[in-house]
């Protein structure tokens, strides 16, 4: 069996090994509420849009909110969701989010507190004093999609290969 390619040279990365922006399409039941949350609460920019979807620029990544009919009882868990325990927290699955510097994460956490956001997992430092130490917080958008925002003191900590925590 051949060696796996060095992912810093992979065609999945930009020239020089930098990560490429990702695209994620999510279901929302109210485009106006999604626009308010992603732009006014999180500070995302808006790209293209139609009557049934909006592209958001979330930290340089493209999040597309697609309008789909509500099938559940309202805001809460998204379809096919569950959770896993991680360092004492019940982490919602699925979820997505951004990885920030610790300083940017602290500013975001303060901003979300000032906006009286309801957290699934309130801002805290996980794995304190261990490899992979990180700030984390979870919240849901108005359609129930779970988001996590992480903060690391060094970029190298993101893919720390210390194993399971």
* 133-156 per-position pLDDT tens digit: 899 999 999 999 999 999 999 877
With b for 16 or more beta-carbon neighbours within 10 A and e for fewer, the 42-55 pattern comes to: bebeeeeeeeebbb
Distance between CA atoms of residues 99 and 109, nearest Å: 13
Instruction: Provide the pLDDT for residue 144.
Output: 92
On whether residue 122 sits in a domain, the answer given is: yes
Same domain, yes or no: 58 and 98? no
- Read off the tokens for 127: 């794995």
Band the pLDDT of 165: cuts 50, 70, 90.
very low
Q: Do the Cβ atoms of 20 and 13 come closer than 8 Å?
A: yes
What 3-state DSSP class applies to 109?
A: helix
Same domain, yes or no: 91 and 42? no
Question: Cα torsion for 66, 69, 72, 74, to the nearest 10°?
Answer: 70
Instruction: Provide the pLDDT for residue 26.
Output: 92
Same domain, yes or no: 90 and 163? yes
Least confident of 39-53, 55-69, 82-96, 101-115: 82-96
Band the pLDDT of 12: cuts 50, 70, 90.
low
Same domain, yes or no: 65 and 90? no
| Residues 6+ positions from 52 with CB-CB distance below 8 Å | 31, 66, 67
Least confident of 72-76, 120-124, 161-165: 161-165
On whether residue 102 sits in a domain, the answer given is: yes
Same domain, yes or no: 27 and 53? yes
Same domain, yes or no: 99 and 147? yes
Instruction: Provide the pLDDT for residue 55.
Output: 92
Q: Which of 151, 69, 140, 161 is nearest to 107 (CA)?
A: 151
Domain with 47 in it:
19-69
In the predicted structure, residue 77 carries a pLDDT above the cut 80: no
The more confidently predicted of residues 45 and 18 is 45
Same domain, yes or no: 159 and 131? yes
Q: Do the Cβ atoms of 93 and 83 come closer than 8 Å?
A: yes
Same domain, yes or no: 103 and 160? yes
Instruction: Provide the pLDDT for residue 30.
Output: 93
Same domain, yes or no: 39 and 110? no
- Read off the tokens for 44: 């995302």
The more confidently predicted of residues 136 and 130 is 136
pTM above 0.75? yes
């Amino acid at each position: 069996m051949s060696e796996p390619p060095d992912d810093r040279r992979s065609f999945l990365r930009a020239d020089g090994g930098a990560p490429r922006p990702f695209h994620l399409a999510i279901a929302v039941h109210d485009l106006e509420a999604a626009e308010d949350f992603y732009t006014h609460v999180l500070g995302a920019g808006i790209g293209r849009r139609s009557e049934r979807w909006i592209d958001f620029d979330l930290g340089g990544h493209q999040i597309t909110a697609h309008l789909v009919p509500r099938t559940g009882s309202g805001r809460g868990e998204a379809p096919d969701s569950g959770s896993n325990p991680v360092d004492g927290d019940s982490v919602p699955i699925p979820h997505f989010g951004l990885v920030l510097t610790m300083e940017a994460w602290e500013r975001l956490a303060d901003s979300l507190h000032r906006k009286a956001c309801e957290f699934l997992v309130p801002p805290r430092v996980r794995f304190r004093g261990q490899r992979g130490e990180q700030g984390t917080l979870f919240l849901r958008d108005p359609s129930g999609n779970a988001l996590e925002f992480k903060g690391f003191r060094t970029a190298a900590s993101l893919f720390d290969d210390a194993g399971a925590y």
